[in-house]
Structure 1
Amino acid sequence: MCPHCGKNAPVIHRGLAAYCTACGRERLPFAGKSVSLAGKPSRVGGAVAGALGWLVLIGGIGLALLLGLVAAALFPGSIAGLAIGLPIGFVALTLGVLLLISGRKLSRSGVKASRDAQIQAIFSLASHRRRPLTAQEVGVVLDLPSSEADTLLTELAKERPDDVGVELGEHGELLYTFSGITGAAGVRFPQPSLRIDPGHGAADPAARVFAEEFDEEEAGASRAPRRRERLR
């Protein structure tokens, strides 16, 4: 829990310092889940297991072939080569495949843990700022390039359309909205001109009509007091 904003937000490490991903203020280095470190041990372990798997697989099979050929040369016409080479090759093949599978599982779990931490940080940031977010803002907070942040937000909008929406702002920028967060507490934001379907990238014509009707109502409401003043 951040003592500054009160959010249970992950931290992002920059050097030896840690910062809250919601409010951006400095926190203790290990005060919460770290976006920078989440899943990293699993990914490193997966890479090591994968490297060992290939080493055992290639080295073991090569050793089995070498010993089998030597035995066949020493005992021509016998099955000594097969008797020596096949067991070694089978053990190397089994261990190598097991290490490769384990390494892939570890890597996938590490990627998932890192992505979960990033998503938690995004929702914490939206909850703190209480307005739509841009990919550039998210990229700055998570230390990601804007393109990677945009990809992450787009995937999130596709996976959780009830929670995350994509809209086109007044200046043509993409805005990511969060249901129950960015529009809560009576906070009003500039009306987006178009709503975009993250699955197809097409604009929703109904959103355009709604925005135009909203602008007309606002303009009529602002002109009403002036008419009353003239009548007086």
Structure 2
Amino acid sequence: MRCQNCRQEAPTIVRGARAYCTACGAPRSLLEDTPVNVAGQPSKIGGGVASVAGWVILITGVLVSLALGGLISLASATVAWIVGGFLGAMSVLFGLLFILGGRLLWKTGKERERGAHEQAVFAVARRNSGSVTPAELARALNVSEVEADALLTEMAKRPDGYVSLEVDDDGTLRYYVKGTGSARIGAPRVRVGMGGAPGSSQAAEAEALAEAEMGEEDAQARAQRRR
């Protein structure tokens, strides 16, 4: 929901017993939105519990079926195979259902958590005129700079080009987010992955200009020969 202080569509984060805007840090209501440090957590916890329960059912069921089958085999081997096999098969079936369901639920929670964090990236970038650093995002999400940098790096590697990484003159890693009012003003920066220095773009422009001038001279010479 929109923050009444910064007027942005920014998610909230819970600190203590209160919720705050991830973009400007202003206090907000706990009921407005799912906070970024809560989003996906129920699914992740439920998935973990389901996976543990699945392994317990699988291991316990197999052991019980083996023990019961061994006891029944003293009277009848055929009955032992039937009873033990049935219990073992049911244990494997329900155990795998819980394990696979738990993994799927945990993955869903992880995706929701990642989506909430990415919303915060866009909100913080809009607040900072289109850019965000790992330190700024770490403060907004209440995570370590390593985690914040990993999230930004993953977004920058995507082919959609919404997030690009550049290095300021002082060596600060700065991520620019498309569509958030980015205005790159000031000294030239080195774009990561371009393999060039700050003056490389100027050299490329000079080379392109020289080629254009040579092409124009060739065209004029051909025109004179036709005459």
TM-score bracket relative to the smaller structure: 0.7 to 0.9
Provide TM-score, normalisation by structure 1. Answer: 0.82
Residues 181-228 of structure 1: CA deviation (Å, up to 9, x unaligned): 242xxx45333431003xxxxx432754237899xxxxxxxxxxxxxx
> Quick check: 1:193–1:208 contact (8 Å CA) kept in 2?
no
Q: Which residue of 2 aligns with 1:20?
A: 21
Q: Which residue of 1 aligns with 2:66?
A: 65
> Quick check: 2:133–2:173 contact (8 Å CA) kept in 1?
yes
Q: Which residue of 2 aligns with 1:94?
A: 93
Residues 99-118 of structure 1: CA deviation (Å, up to 9, x unaligned): 00000000000000000000
Q: Whole-Å Cα distance in 1 between the matches of residues 75 and 143 of structure 2?
A: 61
Q: What amino acid is the match of 1:3?
A: Q
Partner SS for 2:19 = strand
Q: Closer, same or farther in 2 for the Cα pair 1:65/1:212, shift >3 Å?
A: same
Q: Which residue of 2 aligns with 1:119?
A: 118
Q: What amino acid is the match of 1:2?
A: C
**Greater displacement, 99-108 / 29-38:** 29-38
> Quick check: 2:21–2:27 contact (8 Å CA) kept in 1?
yes
Percent identity for Structure 1 against Structure 2: 33
Q: Whole-Å Cα distance in 1 between the matches of residues 135 and 80 of structure 2?
A: 64
Q: Whole-Å Cα distance in 1 between the matches of residues 154 and 105 of structure 2?
A: 22
Q: Whole-Å Cα distance in 2 between the matches of residues 157 and 211 of structure 1?
A: 25
Q: Whole-Å Cα distance in 1 between the matches of residues 16 and 3 of structure 2?
A: 19
Q: Which residue of 2 aligns with 1:130?
A: 129
Provide TM-score, normalisation by structure 2. Answer: 0.84
Please tell me the root mean square deviation across aligned C-alpha atoms, in Å.
2.0
Q: Whole-Å Cα distance in 1 between the matches of residues 42 and 176 of structure 2?
A: 32
Q: Closer, same or farther in 2 for the Cα pair 1:188/1:167, shift >3 Å?
A: closer
Q: Whole-Å Cα distance in 1 between the matches of residues 13 and 192 of structure 2?
A: 30
Q: Whole-Å Cα distance in 1 between the matches of residues 202 and 134 of structure 2?
A: 23
Residues 85-125 of structure 1: CA deviation (Å, up to 9, x unaligned): 00000000000001000000000000000000000011011
The size of the alignment, in residue pairs, is 204
Q: Which residue of 2 aligns with 1:85?
A: 84
Q: Whole-Å Cα distance in 1 between the matches of residues 187 and 98 of structure 2?
A: 54
* Structure 2 gap segments, 5+ residues each: 206-227
191, 194, 198: which one aligns with 1:195: 191
Q: Which residue of 2 aligns with 1:143?
A: 142
**Where do 4+ consecutive residues of structure 1 move more than 4 Å?**
211-214
Q: Whole-Å Cα distance in 2 between the matches of residues 211 and 150 of structure 1?
A: 30
Q: What amino acid is the match of 1:9?
A: A
> Quick check: 2:135–2:148 contact (8 Å CA) kept in 1?
yes
Q: What amino acid is the match of 2:186?
A: P
Q: Which residue of 2 aligns with 1:205?
A: 196
